[in-house]
Structure 1
Amino acid sequence: MAERSDVWLNAGEKEAWTGLISLLLLMPGRLEAPLREESGLTLFEYLVLSHVSEAPERRLRMSDLAFLANGSLSRLSNVVTRLEKRGAMSRHADPDDGRYTLAVLTDAGFEMVRAAAPVHVRAVRELVLDPLSAADQQALVRIAAKLKARLPG
């Protein structure tokens, strides 16, 4: 077994960590560029719209949406405000529990995400899926599960 130090990474650990952090830092920008260019959306805006579009009745609690989109409530609130100004979303008190606010996708917002989806899917395929074998893709799924880094759904 290789010697383990709590102070430094060994060569294999450093290579694994560098690969992961490179993915985390570089991939979002690469996925966002075509969305911005062709749809005028940031990756975060697209994820917000996409998650709400897949929810029952196209509505989600803001707290749940923040979790799914991997953002803080304040960041989400700012993005939803921008999307409201574009006519893509609205907010309403949750009729089941008034302590919560629902993010609701409008018909215009649904069309926005529908138009942007092919751009996003193309980028995901080109940048992530196509370079990987089926075994590589399954390895990503297993790694994300082990690191508890998978969103539900």
Structure 2
Amino acid sequence: MTSKQAPTGDAVRPLTADEEAIVRSLPLLIYALPRAIDTDMTQEQRMSATEYLALMHLSEAPGRRLRMGGLSSACEMSLSGTTRIVHRLEKEGFIQRVRCDHDGRSWHAALTDAGFARLEEAWPSNLAAVRRHFLDHLTGLDLKTLAAALHKVAT
């Protein structure tokens, strides 16, 4: 829709109280949930939620490696932020940076065996935090429908 086009009748229909509650809750959720999980992970595992996500995405990738840009996209982070996380995890021996076989200018982040073991160690804390701060609050809802709706909104 261009700026000169008028919105359709549905677009200007006022929100119901339930619709408004959802619309107002989403920004709070988007901000508060990652922080709550990060706090738990940092306290229990001395690992940030972002570091956990990086290890998780690498563990699921073919050969347990991703191009830096691919890891950045998977973690929803900037390339420079991803580079900082990878550097920190590399210092701990959880990730190795390796040159791309096909393009000598590019780098991959590769999960080490120690990184996979660390991910397995941290997994119960992450799972507990996700349940405590999110899933336990959705009891009684149709999660399959909710997941499909959230995916549709996101894409």
The Cα shift of 1:55 comes to 1.4
Q: What is the TM-score with the length of structure 1 in the denominator?
A: 0.84
**Identical-pair percentage:** 35
Number of residue equivalences: 146
Ranges in structure 2 where 5+ consecutive residues have no aligned partner: 1-8
CA distance in 2 between counterparts of 1:75 and 1:18 reads: 29
The Cα shift of 1:2 comes to 7.5
Q: Does 1:4 align with 2:17?
A: no
The Cα shift of 1:19 comes to 0.7
Compared CA separation, residues 134 and 65, structure 1 to 2 (3 A): farther
Partner of 2:129: 123
> Runs in 1 of length 4+ with deviation above 6 angstroms?
none
Q: Does 1:137 align with 2:140?
A: no
The Cα shift of 1:128 comes to 1.6
What is the Cα-based RMSD across aligned positions, in Å? 2.2
User: Of the two, which has the highest radius of gyration?
Assistant: 2
Partner of 1:68: 74
Compared CA separation, residues 78 and 3, structure 1 to 2 (3 A): closer
Q: What is the TM-score with the length of structure 2 in the denominator?
A: 0.83
Compared CA separation, residues 91 and 148, structure 1 to 2 (3 A): same
Partner of 1:45: 51
CA distance in 2 between counterparts of 1:136 and 1:23 reads: 19
The Cα shift of 1:97 comes to 2.6
Partner of 1:17: 23
